[in-house]
Amino acid sequence: MFKVFDVHTHTYPEKIAEKACENLGHFYNFEVLGKGTYADLESQAEANNVGGYLLFSVATNAHQVPKVNDSIAALAEYSRSRGFKTIGYAGMHQDFPDFEGEIERAVSLGLRGVKIHPDIQGVNIDDPRLLPLYEILEARGMPIYLHMGDNRPEYQFSSADKLVRVLDMFPRLIVGAAHLGGYKSWDVNVPLLAGRENVWYDTSSALWAMSVEDAERIIRTLGVERVMFGTDYPVVNTREELERFFRIPLTDDEREAILWNNAMRFFHMEEA
């Protein structure tokens, strides 16, 4: 059985999880299948040989940033105490007044990167307000993880051309480009991003929206060595997402890389 690291998960406090899942479903016009709680995520992990995950949360305004980061750090620490190789990434907002100070604090809390959701936050990837954040992360060697893509014309905040402009300005910036580089906009995004050696990708909210043939083609175009498995929990069920993944005609070595080994390299957790 393959070990699995899920590089794209979101959970919410139990008292707001149901409402948060409803809001997420309304924003994207799809059904959210998970409960959105850490307990449900862990239950699915234990049933599917998931040994760790990357936890995210989105700061929808600047005032939320410290609280979001405290919450993610505490949850990641709790998850590690439960035996998982769990990592937390800080949330950040374009209007937060002190990127440097909050990044320093986030690192002290054990957080190891930053997550931005341009579409939900209403900010273009290449917005001038975010450029100082990228400069700080590039200097520290910390990754920025980005929601990428959308085929709705009113949600073009995370189009690949904007990311390319950022990469040209910050050539050593490490980027996690979610959803195989572009949720429902793969035809446009993938050709622009392929070949960028400091960009990594996850399979979250992608496999259910494309054919097996397209999934294989896109994974090979982006590079098997830089693609990681992700569910986008609570959007999908872990078991069903793994079933989709195993339908893709990959070798066992390629599956092992995407399901576990690439994440170990991305997070610098290579095992002896």
pLDDT reported for residue 76: 97
Q: How confident is the model at residue 20 (pLDDT cuts 50, 70, 90)?
A: confident
**Would you call 260 exposed, middle or buried from its count of C-beta atoms within 10 A (0-12, 13-18, 19+)?**
buried
Give the mean model confidence (pLDDT) for residues 9-36: 89
Give the mean model confidence (pLDDT) for residues 264-269: 95
Interatomic CA distance for residues 11 and 191, integer angstroms: 32
Give the mean model confidence (pLDDT) for residues 51-65: 95
**154: amino acid identity, one letter:** E
Q: What are the structural domains, with CATH classification, of the chain?
A: 4-266 (3.20.20.140)
Q: How confident is the model at residue 189 (pLDDT cuts 50, 70, 90)?
A: very high
12 pLDDT higher than 50: yes
Q: Provide the whole-model pTM.
A: 0.95
pLDDT reported for residue 270: 72
Interatomic CA distance for residues 102 and 16, integer angstroms: 25
73 pLDDT higher than 50: yes
Residue given tokens 């005032």 in the structure block = 63
Contact, 207 vs 259, CB < 8 A?
Answer: no
pLDDT reported for residue 55: 97
29 pLDDT higher than 90: no
Helix (H, G, I), strand (E, B) or coil at 142: coil
Q: Which two tokens stand for residue 182?
A: 């572009």
Helix (H, G, I), strand (E, B) or coil at 196: coil
Q: Which residues contact 41 (CB under 8 A, 6 or more apart)?
A: 9, 11, 34, 53, 233, 234
Give the mean model confidence (pLDDT) for residues 183-195: 96
Neighbours of 129 (CB within 10 A): 13
Q: How confident is the model at residue 25 (pLDDT cuts 50, 70, 90)?
A: confident
Closest CA to 131 of 94, 181, 182: 94
pLDDT reported for residue 271: 54
Which residues pair with residue 146 across a beta bridge? 116, 177
Contact, 20 vs 12, CB < 8 A?
Answer: yes
Contact, 96 vs 65, CB < 8 A?
Answer: yes
C-alpha 73: how far from chain center = 16
Q: Where are the beta strands (DSSP E) in 67-217?
A: 87-88, 90-91, 114-116, 144-146, 175-177, 199-202
Neighbours of 21 (CB within 10 A): 21
219-248 per-position pLDDT tens digit = 999 999 999 999 999 999 999 999 999 999
pLDDT reported for residue 91: 97
Residue given tokens 């998982």 in the structure block = 84
272 pLDDT higher than 50: no
